[in-house]
Chains A and B, each alone.
Chain A
Amino acid sequence: MEVTREPLPGAGDFRARQLLSRDMLRGDLEGEALDRYVEERVMTTTLDKAVAWARGNSFYPMTFGLACCAIEMMSIVGARMDIARFGFEAFRASPRQADLLILSGRVSIKMAPVIRRIYDQMLEPKWAISMGACCSSMGVFNNYALVPSDKFMPVDVHVPGCPPRPEALAHGILRLREKVQGTEKQGWRERYDAVGTEEVLTSGDTDGVQINVQPGDTAGA
């Protein structure tokens, strides 16, 4: 078989651009040539978009582990998931320096005020990820000791699992990045075109109806 070699498309163009850059750096470029040079190389955007892009690519998570999910949270910084690829690896030991709180594990009633305080100490803008079944819905510990995290602080992303694998948490962080950067895809409702099918009961409907209420529960909080 005959091998034919061809120059890469645009290779000559590349050399021309190289020489142009050299001229610009030397200050030899003037007038119209300089204008065209700048026009070709400057990208315009809004400040909000630039800031959101920077924020979304440099989360500083809080070093804060609650239970077994924390082990999975630690492993996302390791070599296999390597969250440093996305710029999220700098775990900060102080809430003043962090802007992402990953609730990794079960939240007991006694711990809830502590977490709320840590969250309040974080500087704006700040986000929170509720990781695992326990701190989203109390998981297997539906008893006197625990409280779901939505009850005492705003949560941006819930990552389900018991515990979620590091991939799942990385996915959660990437979804949070989408949210921060304004390209938010909320979840399965948008994916499956199911907006408007929420089972929200108006207060009038619920007087006689109790959904998912077990003995000992307070109906619907």
Chain B
Amino acid sequence: MPDATGLELTAQELRDADAESILGTVFHRGQATLLVNPSSVHGVLERLQSKGYSFLASLHGCDYYPEEPRLGVLYELLDMDSVDRITVKARVHTDAPRLASVVDMFPGADFPEREVFDMFGVVFDGHPDMRRILMPEDYEGHPQRRDFPIGGEPVLFTYNEERSYGKWQ
């Protein structure tokens, strides 16, 4: 992990390259997080990759309801040489959840980006195959969002057996 100073130095380096890119830094319990402007995610990851963070360990989504912007996309990067980890977090609104895809830099981001799209509805521009990965293709809604209703198919018991779609012989 970079320490708090190292995180600030990295952030400053990225700000020098693009002043708008870094919105803030969080250093919490030894974990370094860069809050990134959603429009400059691709550029920031490109610079971090050339700095040595060459491995995208995880890419996942999060819903911070009721905070705004609600949706977060987190990129966990790993520097294999110095064993440094850094988290890049981008927050997007639910009305226009769009981010640039990083599949061109990290081919392993292909399926995670599709999963984030499936579960949270964040669209990744430039992804070669942006469609659902886990839920059926005709499914409506994004089930990991926190305003998605809890509970699924009602279970058949004897009291509602008569009214099920298929009353089997």
A86 on the B face (CB < 8 A): no
Contacts of A219 in B (CB 8 A): 154
Among A19-27, A28-36, A193-201, the one that faces the other chain is: A193-201
Contacts of B156 in A (CB 8 A): 148, 150-151, 221
Interface string of B143-162 (1 = CB under 8 A from A): 10000111111111111111
A interface bracket (residues with beta carbon within 8 Å of B): 20 to 34
A57 on the B face (CB < 8 A): no
A220 to B161, CA, bound (A): 8
Complex contact A143–B160 (CB within 8 A): no
- Interface hits, A137-167 → B, CB 8 Å: 137-138, 141-148, 150-152, 154-155
Interface string of B12-54 (1 = CB under 8 A from A): 0000000000000000000000000000000000000000000
User: B153, B165, B168 — which one has the most chain A CB atoms within 10 A of its CB?
Assistant: B153
Complex contact B143–A213 (CB within 8 A): no
Tell me which of A147, A155, A199, A201 contacts B153 (CB under 8 A): A147
Residue of A nearest to B160 (CB): A220
Q: Is the interface of A mostly helix, strand, loop or mixed?
A: loop
Interface size on B, residues (CB 8 A): 26
A-B contact count (CB 8 A): 85
A110 to B137, CA, bound (A): 9
Complex contact B154–A199 (CB within 8 A): no
Contacts of B158 in A (CB 8 A): 198-200
Tell me which of B139, B155, B164 contacts A138 (CB under 8 A): B155
Contacts of B152 in A (CB 8 A): 138, 141-147
Residue of B nearest to A205 (CB): B159
Complex contact B162–A152 (CB within 8 A): no
Contacts of A109 in B (CB 8 A): 135-136, 139
Contacts of A44 in B (CB 8 A): none
Contacts of B143 in A (CB 8 A): 143-145
Contacts of A146 in B (CB 8 A): 152-153
Tell me which of B149, B163, B168, B169 contacts A221 (CB under 8 A): B163
Contacts of A217 in B (CB 8 A): 151, 154
Known: A150-B164, A200-B162, A203-B163. A220 touches B154 (CB 8 A): yes
Complex contact A216–B151 (CB within 8 A): yes
Task: Quote the shortest CB–CB distance from A203 to chain B (angstroms).
Answer: 7
A154 to B165, CA, bound (A): 12
Complex contact A148–B151 (CB within 8 A): no
Extra inter-chain contacts (17) besides given A138-B155, A220-B159, CB under 8 Å: A142-B151, A142-B155, A145-B135, A147-B153, A148-B153, A151-B153, A151-B156, A154-B168, A155-B168, A203-B162, A211-B159, A215-B149, A216-B149, A216-B150, A219-B154, A220-B154, A221-B156
Q: Which A residues lie at the B interface, using CB under 8 A?
A: 109-110, 137-138, 141-148, 150-152, 154-155, 198-201, 203, 211-221
